[in-house]
Chain A
Amino acid sequence: MSESIAAGVPAARRRARVRPVTQDSPFARYALIATAIAFLSLFLLAPLAVVFYEAGTKGAAAFFEAFQDPDARAAIRLTLLIAAIAVPANLAFGLAAAWSIAKFSFPGKSLLITLIDLPFSVSPVVAGLVYVLLFGSQGLLGGWLTAHGVQIIFAVPGIVLATIFVTFPFVARELIPLMQEQGSVEEEAALTLGASGFKTFLTVTLPNIKWGLLYGVLLCNARAMGEFGAVSVVSGHIRGLTNTIPLQVEILYNEYNNVAAFALSVLLASLALVTLGIKTFLEWRHADALAARGRRH
C-alpha cells in the first residue's frame, strides 16, 4: 500500500532545483513528519516502552519472581488453554464460512457477511453480559444448568465462550474476501480431473490461502490471549482458577504490585510485538496472498 508510492519518490528529487508541483514545500514536509513522529511516540511508543521499564524497575530477580507465583502460572496456563480452544474453533468456522460464501452464490450473502462482522461492533463488556444473561444463575438457561450441576458463568466454559465471541470474525473476514478474489476456477479444474472434494481443498485451496489463514489466525490468537473486558465479566476473578493473564494483571496492579503486574504485561506486550512483526512481514513479503486491504478491522 504505502510502499509503492513512497518508493516512487526518489531521494534525488529533493536536490532538484525546481520542486515538482505535486510535492509539498520542505517546510510543510518536515513539519508534518515531525508532528506524526511526535504524536506516534507520545501515544504509541511511550505506552509500550513504559511496560518494559516498569517491569524492570526492581531488577531482574523481582521480574522473574513474578513468574514463580502459582497464581501467575495458573493464569498463564489458563490463557494458553483458552487460546488453544478458541482459535481452532474460529479457524474451523472461518474455513467453513469462507468456503460456502466464496465458492457458491446464494441470496442473502451480504447479510450473512454483516452478521459475521457483528461481534466487532459489540462492546467487549456487552459480549460478556450476553452470556451472563443466557447462562448466569438468573439467566434464561441458568435454572436448567444449575439443576444439572453445570457451571458456565464464573467458570472456564464461560471464558472460552466469551473469547470465541470477541475473536469470532478474525479468520472469516480475512478468508472470505481472499477466496472471493481467487474465484473457483482452480478447484473446478481439480474436480473435473477427478480429485475428491476434500483432496481439492487440501491440495488446491489450502496452498492458495495459507498466508491469509496464518494472518487471520495470528490476529485471532493475539486477541484471544489479550481479551480483558468480555472475560472479566464472565470470569468471576477466582484466583488460580478463572483468572487469565490480563485479569491477573488487573489484580496485581490494583494491589500495587507494579513489578509483577508489568512483568506479566511484558509477556502480553511481547506477544503483541511478535504478532505485529509477523503481520508486517506477511504484508511485506506475501501481500498478494492476503486479502486486499481497505479497512482492516
Chain B
Amino acid sequence: MTSPNFAGRNARRFKAPSVIPGFGLTFGYTLLYLGLVVLLPLAALIWRSSGLGLSGLYDIATEPRVAAGLRTTFFISFCAALVDLFFGLIVAWVLTRYDFFGRRLLDAFVDLPFALPTAVAGISLAALYAPNGWFGEPLAAYGIKIAYTRWGILVALIFIGLPFVVRTVQPIVAELETELEEASATLGASRVQTVLRVLLPPLAPALLTGFALAFARSIGEYGSVIFIAGNIAYVSEIAPLLIVVKLEQYDIPGATGIATIMLAISFAALLAINLVQAFARKRFGHV
C-alpha cells in the first residue's frame, strides 16, 4: 500500500472503524491542500525537467559556470557541516552536561539561525566580515579576507547549519546512561577511553543525522550567503544563485535543470537520514 489516494467510496474500509467524526472532511482537506500547494508545483518542476531528458540535465550540469556553482555549493556545504559537527557536539555536550552562568540563555540562542530571517543574517555577516567590520578589520591586518570570498560562504553556512547538529545531538547526550560510564571506569578505562569508546558510539547516529540535516539545508541556502559571497562567477557563486541568474535571463530550462539536480541531492540526503535513523533504532533503541 503506497498511496493514500483512495479515500472516497472505500473510505469505510480504508480506515479502521472509529467513533470519532470528521475523517472524511479533515483527510480530504489535507490531501487537497497538500496536493495543490506542494505536490502540484513540484510536479510542474518534474514535468518540466522530464522534458529536458537525462542528456539535457547532463548538459546543464556540465556547463562550466553551473558546474563551478554546483561544486562550490557541495564542497563548502560539506565543509560547513563538518565544522558544525565538531563544534555542535561540543556545544551540545557543554549545554547538557555542565552547569554554568548563562547556560540557559546560550541554549536559547542556539535556535537563532532558525528564527533570524536569512536576509538579516546575510547582511549582518557581511557587515561583520567586511574589510571595515568588527572581525574583517583585524583579520585584514593579517591579510585574511573573509567577506566576498569563498570563506564568506563557509561562515554563512556554518551559521545556518549549527542548530541542526546541536538540536539533534542534545537529546541523545541527555539520555546517555551514567551507569555505562561508571561501568567503563570501574573496568579500568581512562576518561578519554570512556568518552571515545562508550559515550561517542551511541551519539554517532545523531551526529550523522545532524550532519546530513545541516548539509542538506546548506545546499539550498540562499539569503544568508549571497550578501557575503561576493558572487563572482566560477569562484563564489552558489547553485541557488545560479537558478535566480538563469531565471533573470529567461533561461527557464537552465533554472529547471539546476533545481532538479538540487532536489535530487536533498532527497538523497533525506533518504540517508532515514536509513541512519532506522539503523540507530535497531542498534541503540533510539533515534
Contact = CB atoms under 8 A, between A and B. Distances in A.
Instruction: Determine which residue in A42, A103, A121 has the highest number of CB atoms from chain B within 10 A of its CB, and name it.
Output: A121
B19 interface: yes
Interface residues of A, number: 113
Contacts of A47: 116, 121, 124-125, 128, 159
Interface residues of B, number: 114
B182 A121 contact: no
Contacts of A136: 252
Given A22-B181, A32-B98, A121 B266 contact: yes
Nearest to B227: A253
B230 interface: no
B4 A106 contact: yes
Contacts of B26: 95-97, 99-100
Contacts of B181: 21-22
Interface in A8-55: 9, 11, 21-22, 24-25, 28-29, 32-33, 35-37, 39-40, 42-48, 50-51, 54
Chain B interface mostly: helix
Contacts of A188: 19-20
Contacts of A132: 247, 252
A103 B222 CA distance: 38
B38 interface: yes
A232 B247 CA distance: 12
A68 interface: no
Interface string B177-202: 01001100110000100100000000
A147 interface: no
B142 interface: no
A11 B185 CA distance: 22
Contacts of B18: 103-105, 184
Interface in B215-260: 216, 219-223, 227, 240-241, 243-244, 247, 250, 252, 255-256, 259
4 closest A-B pairs by beta carbon, nearest first, are: A123-B220, A226-B117, A21-B185, A108-B4
Given A226-B119, A293-B171, 15 more contacts: A9-B98, A9-B99, A39-B87, A39-B91, A43-B159, A47-B128, A93-B34, A107-B14, A108-B3, A112-B4, A112-B34, A124-B223, A228-B222, A249-B120, A249-B123
